[in-house]
Amino acid sequence: MSIANVAVIGAGTMGQGIAQLFAQHGYTTWIHDVRDGAAEQARQRIAQALDKRVTKGRMTTEDAATALSRVNVANSLGDLAEADLVVEAVVEDLDVKRALFAELEGLCRADTLLCTNTSSLSVTEIAAELHTPQRFAGLHFFNPATAMKLVEVVSTDATTHNTRRALHDFARTLGKTPVDVSDSPGFIVNRCARPFYSEALWLLEHGTTSAATIDVCLKSGGGFPLGPFELIDLVGLDISLRATETVWRAFDHHPRFRPSPLVADKVATGQLGRKSGAGFYHYGDDHDEELSPLAPPGVTSVEEVIAHLPDDLAQRCQVSDGRTAAEMAKERGQATIVFDTLLRPWPNDRPATLAFASHGLDAVSREKLVEAAAGQGVRLVEIADRAGLVVLRVAAMLVNEARFALDEGIASADDMDTAMRLGLNFALGPWKMLERLGTERIRTTLERAAEEDGSGRYVPAAS
């Protein structure tokens, strides 16, 4: 079908961003909000956002004026009767959304596509009382909608192929990459990213190392743009806690989604992250000060680090395969050093930090090891002896959750990788991580982690 006139219901941050995106890409756009004046205020904020783009040289004055001329305020839902597509971005309340779509179904043309931008509610439940659910789907944009490249197209059992295809085509005209998702709690990104936060929190809860060390190890060894604790602080601990609780409830309180008491405790005391001045970090302070890095490394892999160590140290070293240093030391009959793994080679334009654990290593050898690695530009940080250490352990849980999602038919492996790269700016999606690490290392890490925590958190997926 041809889409020319589009509508956005809800003039909050997401609704405003989605409306601006539509207008910038040539669509006649209507904004409606039940709050008096909210839609007009959103239009004014869009004008300011477009002016900023002009100032930054991202669009011309003429293009900004043309885009703004496409943005119209709808005073009532009746003004949207001729829309080709309607996107709802109102409060995350099931009853409110159901009532809204019931009214839209009676007002809009029979071929109008009806979409929800929900991130936490069931698309199937929102559509449960519609007479024409075949034209209904989730169209989940990411914040900020004008910048993030991913759109999750979420189907229910009733959503037709033609509806999905039309939404894919529409998303591409916006410069977005659409991925197909079957309706399931958290869709792809909000579900499959949970282990990035939850496993880091488990490590912190159990005294493995500090939040700053976990963050810097994952950025250095995993290629993640931000560490999990930086991300939680950026999003807000209260928002992160609500999202985790929503997914946890949706999966019948499965232990792998258990909310962390560390987050709940901080929320209870008003430590909400950047917006409150404190969360896992205290803002205004240099939270990386304790991890002052060296110059960029002269090596690209852990194997190179080991190869350049003195022989008496090198023979005791191994890259993590999921087993602890204590287990390896017992097997080898000597002091053992286990280094964390890398998901991609270290770049030569930024510092490298690498976690390690040891068993039976004397203080002199430990000091010699740290100095030898520093000579190669790699900062070593010793942590508690845990299965998989940091990068491998977090990656194993990301892979495991992706396997659960694949087993459930939520999305294809390729779409999961695309979603995680574009929705969270991960360097690698979980399936590419599996390709790099291998099935055996993932299996061993989950098995050994289960020995540390018997809650059922580390039960492997069937695939």
Q: Which of 140, 220, 320, 358 is catalytic?
A: 140
- Residue 290 predicted with pLDDT over 60: no
Asked whether the beta carbons of 148 and 140 are under 8 A apart, the reply is no
What's the pLDDT band for 284 if we cut at 50, 70, 90? confident
Strand pairing class (71-73; 177-182): unpaired
Question: What is the per-residue burial (b if ≥16 Cβ within 10 Å, else e) of 438-459?
Answer: eeebbebbbebbbeeeeeebbe
Share of the chain above pLDDT 70, in %: 98
How confident is the model over 271-280, as pLDDT tens digits? 999 999 999 9
pLDDT exceeds 80 at position 291: no
User: Is residue 334 over pLDDT 60?
Assistant: yes
Confidence of residue 350 (pLDDT cuts 50, 70, 90): confident
The two tokens of residue 59 are 């669009």
Does residue 358 carry a catalytic annotation?
no
Report residue 284 as tokens. 């205004």
Q: What is the rounded average pLDDT of the residues 325-353?
A: 95
pLDDT class for 285, splitting at 50, 70, 90? low
Lowest mean pLDDT among 118-132, 139-153, 207-221, 289-303: 289-303
Helix (H, G, I), strand (E, B) or coil at 32: strand
Q: How confident is the model at residue 34, as a pLDDT?
A: 95
* C-alpha 3, offset from chain centre: 30
Read off the pLDDT of residues 223-258 as tens digits, 9 standing for 90 and up: 999 999 999 999 999 999 998 999 999 999 999 999
**Active-site pick, 152, 199, 230, 401:** 152
Identify the burial level of 258 via C-beta atoms within 10 angstroms of its C-beta, where 0-12 means exposed, 13-18 middle and 19 or more buried: middle
Say whether 5 is catalytic.
Answer: no
* DSSP labels, 282-327: BBTB-TTGGG---SPPS-SSHHHHHHTS-HHHHTTEEE-SS--HHH
Rounded average pLDDT over 258-270: 97
Is the pLDDT at 141 greater than 80, yes or no?
Answer: yes
| 288 pLDDT above the threshold of 90 | no
Per-residue confidence (pLDDT) for residue 286, from 0 to 100: 55
The 10s digit of each residue's pLDDT in 102-132 is 999 999 999 999 999 999 899 999 999 999 9
At a CB cut-off of 8 Å and minimum separation 6, what does 302 contact?
319, 339, 340, 341, 342, 354
| Options 5, 184, 190, 358, the catalytic residue | 190
User: What Å distances lie between residue 221 and 301, 344, 345, 393, CA to CA?
Assistant: 10, 7, 8, 12
Whether 412 is catalytic: no
Is 208 a residue whose pLDDT tops 80? Answer: yes
Which residue ranges form the domains of the chain, and what is each CATH number? 5-183 (3.40.50.720), 302-382 (3.30.750.190)
Tell me the pLDDT of the chain averaged across its residues. Answer: 95
Give the pLDDT confidence score for residue 424 in this predicted structure: 94
Looking at the DSSP bridge assignments, the partners of residue 352 are 378
pLDDT, tens digit, for every residue of 395-446? 999 999 999 999 999 999 999 999 999 999 999 999 999 999 999 999 999 9
Q: How far is CA 318 from CA 303, 332, 340, 376, 409, in A?
A: 8, 11, 9, 17, 37
Q: Is 105 a known active-site residue?
A: no
Q: How many helices (H) and strands (E) does the chain have?
A: 20, 12
> pLDDT by residue (tens digit) across 369-402?
999 999 999 999 999 999 999 999 999 999 999 9
Average pLDDT score over residue span 133-148: 96
pLDDT, one tens digit per residue, over 21-56 is 999 999 999 999 999 999 999 999 999 999 999 999
pLDDT 10s digits, 175-207: 999 999 999 999 999 999 999 999 999 999 999
Query: pLDDT value at position 289?
Result: 44
